[in-house]
DNA sequence: TGTCCATGATCAA
DNA sequence: TGATCCTGGACAT
């Protein structure tokens, strides 16, 4: 579940149902028990998402949550087992349960500042400045595919948005950042803002243009556990929805990268370097 | 029942 | 670069 849109969506729901109200905190699993006891009974004052990080402030205490790859935060009555609930937060008529997070801990204000200062601009935040990311990208010999996944360059983008935004603008994922044109970065950024806002609203990642939607093409809707209509993510071996070429997959920095070798053809800019 | 894999990230070597 | 952490779903046995 967890690219940045998921965390902003969670933050909104927490804000609606818990902020400004006294809360109960428990840790059925026990691994957050000491901290939960400190928080128990306090009013939730502020909820904030930055990239894939979530911050909940209760008086002078701030909880930092990062879902990692396996984490989930669910609302209402849960279906999972009790002994995997790291943190249960309750208010009158509301309940949230956190399972399998990579991080769930109390941070001091300076630790919060340190963490947030290391994050690149988040396309879902109004205070984001894409020029800060561009200053890193335009000087880098790393590929744009790798740079988009680096949370200190851009925060909130994950493996799906990375693959999809590059496909949508026909950009070769292996193109070095320093060879990207300013205009291309502008387009990538503004598209991330648009795509991720939709993601927050609908709770899944949809990236196909209307003419490539299942109904328009007479193809069956996508069957994939993560949901959402996409062009390349986890579609390796299948035909490109735009050109029919076979979608490819390769491990880059330990993650599966998906792309269309024809739509995202290696540009002449890069050709002499290969 | 067991193994592998995942929308992520850190740490050791 | 590889091992590791966390949970749950898909798939094989």
Query: CB of residue A125 closer than 7 A to nucleic acid strand C?
Result: no
- Helices within chain A (DSSP H only): 4-18, 33-39, 109-117, 130-137, 144-149, 159-168, 182-202, 214-217, 268-271
Per-residue buried b or exposed e for A78-93, using 16+ beta carbons within 10 Å of the residue's own CB:
beeeeeebbbbbbbee
Residue A269 (CA) to nucleotide C11 (C1'), in angstroms, measures: 43
For strand C, the positions having any atom within 7 A of a protein Cβ are 1-3, 5-10
DSSP string, A228-256: S--SSTT-TTSBPTTT-PBPEEEEETTEE
Query: What residue has its CA nearest to the C1' of B9?
Result: A68
Query: CB of residue A224 closer than 7 A to nucleic acid strand C?
Result: no
CA A198 to chain centre: 13
- Which pLDDT score is estimated for A5? 98
Query: CB of residue A71 closer than 7 A to nucleic acid strand C?
Result: yes
How many C-beta atoms surround the C-beta of residue A34 within 10 A?
10
- Which pLDDT score is estimated for A267? 77
Per-residue pLDDT tens listing for chain A (274 residues):
699 999 999 999 999 999 999 999 999 999 999 999 999 999 999 999 999 999 999 999 999 999 999 999 999 988 788 999 999 999 999 999 999 999 999 999 999 999 999 999 999 999 999 999 999 999 999 999 999 999 999 999 999 999 999 999 999 999 999 999 999 999 999 999 999 999 999 999 999 999 999 999 999 888 887 779 999 999 999 999 999 999 999 999 999 999 999 999 987 777 555 4
Residue A149 (CA) to nucleotide B2 (C1'), in angstroms, measures: 33
How many C-beta atoms surround the C-beta of residue A169 within 10 A?
13
User: Does the pTM exceed 0.75?
Assistant: yes
Closest of A250, A203, A253, A211 to residue A228, by C-alpha: A203
């Amino acid at each position: 579940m967890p690219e940045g849109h998921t965390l902003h969506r969670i933050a909104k729901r927490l804000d609606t149902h818990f902020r400004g109200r006294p809360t109960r905190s428990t840790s059925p699993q026990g691994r957050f028990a000491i901290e939960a006891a400190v928080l128990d009974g306090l009013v939730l004052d502020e909820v904030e998402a930055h990239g894939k990080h979530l911050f909940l402030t209760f008086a002078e205490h701030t909880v930092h949550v990062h879902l990692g790859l396996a984490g989930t935060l669910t609302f209402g009555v849960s279906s999972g087992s009790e002994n995997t609930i790291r943190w249960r937060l309750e208010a009158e008529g509301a309940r949230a349960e956190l399972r399998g997070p990579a991080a769930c801990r109390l941070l001091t204000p300076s630790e919060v500042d340190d963490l947030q200062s290391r994050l690149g601009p988040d396309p879902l935040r109004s205070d984001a400045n894409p020029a800060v990311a561009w200053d890193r990208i335009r000087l880098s010999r790393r590929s744009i595919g790798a740079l988009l996944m680096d949370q200190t360059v851009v925060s909130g983008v994950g493996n799906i948005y990375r693959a999809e935004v590059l496909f949508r603008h026909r950009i070769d994922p292996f193109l070095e950042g320093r060879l990207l044109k300013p205009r291309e970065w502008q387009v990538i950024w503004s598209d991330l803002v648009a795509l991720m806002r939709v993601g927050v609203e609908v709770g899944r990642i949809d990236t196909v243009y209307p003419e490539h939607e299942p109904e328009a093409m007479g193809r069956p809707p996508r069957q994939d556990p993560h949901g959402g209509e996409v062009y390349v993510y986890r579609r390796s071996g299948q035909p490109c929805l735009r050109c029919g070429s076979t979608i490819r997959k390769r491990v880059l920095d330990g993650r599966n990268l998906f792309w269309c070798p024809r739509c995202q053809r290696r540009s002449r800019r890069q050709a002499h370097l290969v």
